[in-house]
Amino acid sequence: MADYIPEPTYRISYLYRRILVPIDGSETSFRALDIALDFAQRYGSKITALYVHSRNEDPSKVEEAIKKHIEKKGVKVEIKTRSYEPSISSVANEIITEIIEGGYDLVILGARGNTANEDLIIGSVALSVVVNAAVSVMLVR
């Protein structure tokens, strides 16, 4: 009986139907997107890629990078952008707002974004999302 391995139940397909992937253009954010795409292929999860930018930034460069990354996988992904005023809000606040408004079941994000300091284990945005999100958060290193 020790060799018995039960068949998978695919409960995960019911737990994580809607997944949010915040993208900042960093390598770890695209690794997080790859994991989300795998969830979509295996379990039918709906993926939303979110790029948060300040009002004076042009989001088209990151949007194109996301589209290029996705087209290799053959999975449909909704791409959203949110702009914010730095004196009023923050990237983390906009991600939390999107989590609440979008009704997501899981957030998959890079542990560190485009931070210049490579000694950091976890970035400020990732830490804020982990602490404040009311849903499960998967950090990718």
* 68 Ramachandran zone, left/alpha/beta (phi>0; psi -120 to 50): alpha
Given a cut of 60, whether residue 5 has pLDDT beyond it is no
The confidence band for 113, taking pLDDT boundaries of 50, 70 and 90, is confident
pLDDT of residue 45: 93
pLDDT of residue 7: 62
pLDDT of residue 35: 97
pLDDT digits (tens, 9 = 90+) for 43-55: 899 999 999 999 9
Does the global pTM surpass 0.85? yes
pLDDT digits (tens, 9 = 90+) for 68-112: 999 978 899 999 999 999 999 999 999 999 999 999 999 999 987
Nearest to 108 by CA among 32, 24, 52: 32
Count the helix, strand and coil residues of the chain and give each as a percent rounded to the nearest 5: 40, 25, 40
pLDDT of residue 137: 97
Given a cut of 70, whether residue 135 has pLDDT beyond it is yes
d(CA 75, CA 135): 23
Task: Walk me through the domains of the chain, giving residue ranges and CATH numbers.
Answer: 12-140 (3.40.50.620)
Residue 98 and residue 66 in contact, taking contact as beta carbons nearer than 8 Å: no
- Computed from CA positions of residues 107, 127, 98, 66, in that sequence, does the dihedral angle turn out positive or negative? negative
Write the DSSP symbol of residue 46.
E
Residue-averaged pLDDT of the chain: 90
Residues comprising the chain, all counted = 141
Write the DSSP symbol of residue 84.
E
pLDDT of residue 3: 65
Given a cut of 60, whether residue 2 has pLDDT beyond it is no
In order of 46, 49, 78, the CA distances from 55 in angstroms are: 28, 19, 21
Average pLDDT of span 122-137: 94
Task: Kindly provide the residue ranges of all beta strands, DSSP E only, lying in 1-141, ordered along the sequence.
Answer: 18-22, 46-54, 77-84, 106-110, 136-140
